[in-house]
Amino acid sequence: MLTNRQLLILQVTVDDFIDTALPVGSRQLSKKEEVPFSPATIRNEMADLEEMGFLEKTHTSSGRVPSQKGYRYYVDNMLTPQRISQNEIKQIRSIFEERKLETEQIIRKSAEIISELTNYTSIMLGLDVRKHRVKRFSIVPLSNDSAVAIIVTDSGHVENRVFSIPENFQASDIERMVNLINERLVGVYLHELPAMLEAVTMTVLQQNNGRLNNLFGSLNKALNIEHEDKVYYGGKLQILNQPEFNDVEKARSIMNWMDHVNQIPGIFHMDKKGIQIRIGSENNDLAMEGCSVITASYGISEEQMGSIAIIGPTRMDYRRVVSLLDVMSSDLSKELSRILHGHYG
Amino acid sequence: MLTNRQLLILQVTVDDFIDTALPVGSRQLSKKEEVPFSPATIRNEMADLEEMGFLEKTHTSSGRVPSQKGYRYYVDNMLTPQRISQNEIKQIRSIFEERKLETEQIIRKSAEIISELTNYTSIMLGLDVRKHRVKRFSIVPLSNDSAVAIIVTDSGHVENRVFSIPENFQASDIERMVNLINERLVGVYLHELPAMLEAVTMTVLQQNNGRLNNLFGSLNKALNIEHEDKVYYGGKLQILNQPEFNDVEKARSIMNWMDHVNQIPGIFHMDKKGIQIRIGSENNDLAMEGCSVITASYGISEEQMGSIAIIGPTRMDYRRVVSLLDVMSSDLSKELSRILHGHYG
DNA sequence: TATTAGCACTCTCTTTGAACGAGTGCTAAC
DNA sequence: GTTAGCACTCGTTCAAAGAGAGTGCTAATA
C-alpha cells in the first residue's frame, strides 16, 4: 500500500512526464507547488517507488520515468475526469449537425474529430453489418453465366456479390429463387444468412424443386458474408508527431500495426462496456511496445454497436482522452440509435 | 551534345548511385570494368557534366550525384528494357489464376504483387465506375421518409445512395418512378446520369406528372455520383525502407501525399498512353521533392481503363520498374477486357 | 593533343577528451 | 522524520584532431 506522499509523488511524476516526455528529477519536482518536500525526501520516496516497480530510470543517474506498472496504477487509481470545454463539446456535436442519413459518414467524421481533439490517431470500427437485417433481396443478371445478388438491410446498407449461374438456368428460375428468398429471409440478420439459406435450400430440395439446387449452391457460396471489420482512421499521421516515434523503424512498425488492426482478433472486442485502456505490452504485440490503446464502445443498453480506439504513446494524456471518449461515445450512442432504431425503425 | 565517353560516365554514375545511394567518386568509377579511364579523366568529364547540369555535388569535395536533369536525360535516352524473369512473369500471371469475377479484387491483388516485385509502393487507380453503364435501377423504401436507390452497372458494380422521400409519397409513386427511370436510363453511362435524370424530370413535368417532381429532385441530388477516384495501395510502407526517408519528417510528408493522392487532380491523368515518369519537382508538390512517380495506363485500343503508379525515391530503379510495369499493364489490359467486354458482354 | 600521375587542398565523419548539468545515494545534522 | 551537503555517475555538448574520399590544377607522358 502506498502512503499519501508516495501517491502524490507518483501522480505528479506521471503527470509531468506525460507533459514533457523528459525523465523527472527530484529537484525538478520539488520546485512544483503541489510538492512541498525537499529534493532529498523526494529522492527517498522515488527510490521506494522504483523498488516497488512503479518508476524506472533510463540510466543510473537519470530522472525517473513511469513503468508500465506505474501507468497501470495511475489509470486505475488516479484518473480524475477532465472537464471538457463547451467549445469541444460543440465540435463533437457538429458531427451530427448535417443530419446525414448514412451512418458510414458519421463514423468517418467522428474518427476525424476525435483525432483532432486529442491529437492522437483514432481508429473507429464500422458498424457490424452482420447485425443488420435483410430488408430486400434481389438478383440482377449480368450475362448468361453470371449475376449480381443484392441485399438491402433495414439500415440502408447494401451488400452485393457477383456469382456465377450454372448452365441452363433462365430468368424465370432466377425469379422464382428471388421470390423464395424474399419470402423466407426478410428480417433475418445478415450473419444468420448462410444458415438460413442452407435451410431454404433444403426445403427447395424436398419440394422437388431439385432444379434450383445448383443455383442455390452457387449463391450460397457468394453470400457467405465473412466478418472482416471495416475500420476508419482519423489523423493517421498524428502518431508521428510524438517524440517517441522519431525513429523511422518504430514509425514503420506502428503504421504497420495500424494497417492490420482489423485483422487482429479481439482488438476491438471488449469484455466490459465503457472504456478500456491497454498499456504497452498489454496489447500483446511487439510493435505496440511503448504504445497505449484506449478503447470505448458505444451502443444502447446491452447492445454494443461499435467502438472507438485512440492510439498514442504510453505517455499519452489518459485523463483528457478518457474524458473526451466518454462524451463522444455517449453522443454516438444516442445519435446512431436514433438513426437505426428510431428514424428507420 | 554529349560525347560517347560522357554518355558512358553519366550512365554508370546514375546506375551506381541508384544501386548504392552513395555519391559516386572518380576513383570509385575508374575501378569498374566498363570504365577504362583514369580517375583524372573521369574527374574532367564529371566536371563538364556538372557544368551542363546533369550531375551535382552534395558538398565541395564529395562525389557526384545525378541532378533531376540528369535523371531526366537518363530515363529519356538510356533506359534499355530489363529482362523480366519467367518466375516474375509467373507471379504477375498468378493474379488472374483464380478467375475471380470481381475486378476490384484483381486490382487489389495487382497492387500488392507489383509492390512486392519492385519493393516500392504502388498505387492503383480503381476502374472509373462512371464509365460503366446502367443495367438496372431500383429503389428500396426504408421508412416513411427515406429510401435507398440502387444502380447496378453492366460490370456488376453496385452504387447505392440513401435519399429522403418528401412527404405524401406512396409506394405506388415510387414504383412509377422506378419504371420511368428504367425505361429511359438503362444503358446510359453513369457519368451521364445526372444530366439524363434532369431530362427525365423535365419530361415528367411536361406530362403533368408534377406530383413526382419533388421526388425526382431529391433523388437527383443523391445520385450526383461525384468523381472521387478510388485507389488501392500495395506495400504502403515500402517507401520507408529507402534510406532517403530515414527522416520522420520526410516520411510523414510522403505518407501524407499518398493518403491524399486521389484528391490530386490529374495525378493519374496521362496525356499519352503507356508509361510516364515524373521526377522530383515534375510532380508539382513540395512533399514529392526527391521522389519519382512512374505511371502506366492499361486498357484496350483507345480506351484507357485504369492506371498503376509506383512511388519511389528519385534514385529508384527505373529500368526494372518500367519493364515490370510494361508486363503488368499489358496483362491487366487483356484480362480486364476479357472480363468486362468478353465475359459479361 | 588527349590522357594520366602527382599533389595540395577541402570537406565529412569519427574519435577523443574536457567541461557541464542534472540527477543519484548516502551520511550527518536538524 | 526530514533535509542539507557532498561525492559520484552518466548523458550531452563542444572543440580539436586525424582519417578517408574526393576535387581541381599542373606538369609529365604517350
Nearest to B150 among A146, A150, A255 (CB): A150
> Is the minimum distance from the CB of A61 to strand D below 7 Å?
yes
Cα–Cα distance for residue pair B121/A274, rounded to 1 Å: 39
Instruction: Specify the DSSP element, H or E, that contains B30.
Output: helix B26-30
Identify the residue among B137, B153, B162, B219 best suited for mutation to test binding to A, counting A beta carbons within 10 A and taking the highest. Answer: B162
Report whether A14 contacts A6 (CB < 8 A).
no
Domains, chain B: 4-77 (1.10.10.10), 86-127+231-343 (3.30.450.40), 130-222 (3.30.390.60)
Q: Give the rounded percent of residues in chain B with a pLDDT score beyond 90.
A: 53
Q: In sequence order, which residues have a C-beta less than 8 Å from that of residue A289 and are 6 or more positions away? A: A280, A281
Q: Give the pLDDT of residue A100.
A: 66
Average pLDDT over residues B237-265: 88
pLDDT value, residue B227:
65
3-state secondary structure of B165: coil
pLDDT at B219: 81
pLDDT > 70? residue B342: no
pLDDT more than 90, % of chain A: 52
Mean of per-residue pLDDT scores for chain A: 88
Using a CB–CB cutoff of 8 Å, tell me whether B19 touches chain A: no
Taking the C-alpha atoms of residue A321 and residue A319, their distance in angstroms, rounded to an integer, is 6
Sign (positive or negative) of CA dihedral B84, B89, B95, B101: positive
What's the mean pLDDT in A4-19? 94
Residue of A nearest to B252 (CA): A237
Cβ of B246 under 8 Å from any chain A Cβ? yes
Question: What pLDDT score was predicted for residue B61?
Answer: 84
Protein contacts on strand D: list nucleotides below 7 Å from a Cβ.
Answer: 2-5, 8-11, 20-26
Put simply, whether B154 touches A (Cβ < 8 Å) is: yes
At A301-334, the pLDDT tens digits run 667 788 899 999 999 999 999 999 999 999 999 8
d(CA A125, CA A114): 14
What three-state secondary structure class fits A6? helix
Confidence at B345, pLDDT banded by 50, 70, 90: very low
Among B240, B298, B307, residue whose Cα is nearest residue B268: B307
**Residue B50 confidence (pLDDT) above 50:** yes
Q: Which residue from B101, B236, B245 is facing A146, i.e. has the nearest CB?
A: B101
Q: What is the mean pLDDT of residues B73-93?
A: 95
Q: How many Cβ atoms from other residues are within 10 Å of residue A25's Cβ?
A: 19
- A155 CA – C11 C1', rounded, Å: 68
pLDDT band at B316 (very low <50, low <70, confident <90, very high): very high
The predicted pLDDT at position A209 comes to 63
pLDDT surpassing 90 at residue A132:
no
Distance, in angstroms, between B178 CA and closest chain A CA? 15
Q: Give one DSSP letter per residue of B185-226, joined into a string.
A: HTT-BGGGHHHHHHHHHHHHHHTT-GGGHHHHHHHHHHT---
The pLDDT value recorded for residue A321 is 97
CB crowding A98-115: b at 16 or more within 10 Å, else e: eeebbbeebbbbbbbbbb
User: Mean pLDDT for chain B?
Assistant: 88
Q: Does B156 touch chain A (CB under 8 A)?
A: yes
B336, with CB counted inside 10 A (0-12, 13-18, 19+), is buried
pLDDT at B343: 44
d(CA A248, CA A158): 40
| Sign of the CA dihedral with B181 first, then B185, B190, and B194 last | negative
In the predicted structure, residue B341 carries a pLDDT above the cut 90:
no
pLDDT at B174 over 90: no
**What mean pLDDT do residues A137-142 have?**
91
Does residue B200 contact residue B186 with C-beta atoms inside 8 Å?
A: no
pLDDT at residue B175, rounded to an integer: 87
Q: Residue B138: its pLDDT value, please? A: 92
B251–A251 CB contact, under 8 Å: yes
Place of cell 491497454: A278
| A156: contact with B, CB 8 A cutoff | yes
The residue with greater pLDDT, A60 or A317, is A317
Map grid coordinates 551535382 to a residue. Answer: B56
- The per-residue pLDDT for B222 is 78
- DSSP annotation of A304: -
Give the model confidence (pLDDT) of A166-198 as tens digits: 877 888 888 888 888 888 889 999 888 888 888
Higher pLDDT among residues A305 and B311, named by residue: B311
Which residue's CA shows the smallest distance to C1' of D9? Answer: A61
Q: Would the pLDDT of A18 be above 70?
A: yes
Q: Among A210-219, A247-256, B193-202, which stretch is predicted with the lowest mean pLDDT?
A: A210-219
Residue A265 confidence (pLDDT):
67
Contacts of A102 (CB under 8 A, 6+ apart): A156, B162
Residue environment code for B234-261, b if the CB has 16+ CB neighbours within 10 A, otherwise e: bbbbbbbebebbeebebbbbbbebbeeb
Instruction: Identify which of A67, A124, A160, A145 has the alpha carbon closest to the alpha carbon of residue A258.
Output: A124
Q: What is the pLDDT of residues A218-248, one digit of tens each?
A: 888 777 766 677 899 999 999 999 988 888 8
Calculate mean pLDDT across residues B287-302. Answer: 88
Residues A318 and A66 sit within 8 Å (Cβ to Cβ): no
Q: What's residue A282's pLDDT?
A: 94
Closest residue (CA) to C1' of nucleotide C11 is: B61
The string of DSSP codes covering A243-291 is GGG-SHHHHHHHHHHHHTGGGSTTSS--SSSSEEEEEGGGG--GGGTTE
Q: What mean pLDDT comes out for the span B69-88? A: 96
Lowest-confidence segment of B137-146, B147-156, B203-212 by average pLDDT:
B203-212
For residue A84, give the DSSP letter. Answer: P
The residues, any chain, with a CB within 8 Å of residue A294's CB and separated by 6 or more, are A275, A276, A277, A278, A309, A310, A312, A316, A318, A321, A322, A325
- Checking if the pLDDT of B303 tops 80, the result is no
Query: How do residues A62-108 score in pLDDT, each as one tens digit?
Result: 889 999 999 999 999 999 999 999 999 999 999 988 766 678 889 99
Q: How far is CA A318 from the centre of its chain?
A: 17
The answer on pLDDT for A345 being more than 60 is no
User: Order of strands across the sheet with B134-141?
Assistant: B134-141, B146-153, B158-164
